[in-house]
Amino acid sequence: MPDVRDFVDYREYLAALVSHHKNIDRSFSYRGFARKAGLASPNYLQQVISRNRNLAPASVPAFAKGFGMSRADARIFQFMVEFDAARTDDEKNQWCDRLLDHERGHARRKAVSAHRQWYPLVIREMAALPGFQPDPAWVAPRLRPAITEAQARRALELLFDAGLLLRAHDGAVRPGPGEALEPPLAELAARNAERSRGQLVSQTLNDRLDTVRSLSLRLTPSAVSAANAAIDRLIGELEALVAADGEAPPAEIHTLAVALFPVTATTDLG
């Protein structure tokens, strides 16, 4: 029986359940499942798995009944469906936490949580600095803007638990690759990280305004695509520049924030 805690995408879990039931019962069919679950459509399950239809949160009890899920498994399955159906990232983060509360080890939750504030990711990069100490009292005052020792302590715990910081046998600390995240979680973590960097930019504008460059541009749809491609090239060039430095130790960690977004709406105002 597939373990519901191994899944984030409810469709993948349903596909695994179908495969399991077909292996133990050759008479298993989508029509039979629909009858057992009390569903009007005989191919509803098949349509959901093939991503032609979405599973509404209200339909979870019927699916749980059709597969004979335990109450605990049905609860986690509900969280999966709610996570997928959530429309805002705030809602997705709430359902993500409830879903990943049930995983073994909580490493994936820690990895997602590490992206919700700007400073854990900066601390991870600081581990490449000469003399780095994974000590809240050392880390906190070295960030701009400075954070509290309590925030630094929590961030360090998250980074180690998520595998984003690793401790070698000799005690040295270095950045790690982190817990591998499935696409829905990786996408949410990436959006959280971009939002947190935006918050950092907002906090530092008054102190470092001389480093900010901004433009307001009139762009056609094709020009927007070209501008985004130019931004991608710029980021690639900067990554190549950093890689070309080889083993030269960095003096500071810098954050680059590039955003292109509409500030007017094309509407009929007449």
How many structural domains compose the chain? Answer: 2
29 and 48 share a domain? Answer: yes
Residue 112 shares a structural domain with residue 200:
yes
Phi, psi of 94 (to 5 degrees): -65, -45
- The percent of residues in the chain predicted with pLDDT above 70, rounded, is 93
Tell whether 220 is covered by a domain: no
What pLDDT is recorded for position 7? 93
Give residue 201's pLDDT: 77
Q: What pLDDT, in 10s, does the model give residues 86-145?
A: 999 999 999 999 999 988 778 888 999 999 999 999 999 999 888 899 999 999 999 988
Looking at the structure, do residues 90 and 159 belong to the same domain, yes or no?
no
Q: Which of 102, 134, 164 is the last residue of a domain?
A: 102
Residues in the chain: 270
Same domain, 9 and 98: yes
Kindly state the helix (H) or strand (E) to which residue 250 belongs, with its residue range.
none
| Whether residue 145 sits in one domain with residue 93 | no
What domain range includes position 62? 4-102
* DSSP reduced 3-state for 165: strand
In a domain, 264, yes or no: no
In a domain, 224, yes or no: no
Beta bridge partners, 175, equal 165
Longest dimension (CA), the chain: 71
pLDDT of residue 208: 62
Q: What is the pTM of this model?
A: 0.79
pLDDT in tens, 242-262: 878 766 665 688 888 788 888
Do 55 and 123 belong to one domain? no
- Is residue 81 domain-shared with residue 118, that is, in the same domain? no
Residue 257 lies in a domain: no
Q: 3-class DSSP state for residue 16? A: helix
Residues 16 and 77 placed together within one structural domain of the fold: yes
- For 181, the enclosing helix (H) or strand (E) is none
The stretches in the chain having pLDDT less than 70 are 205-211, 246-251, 266-270
Residue 209 counted as domain residue: no
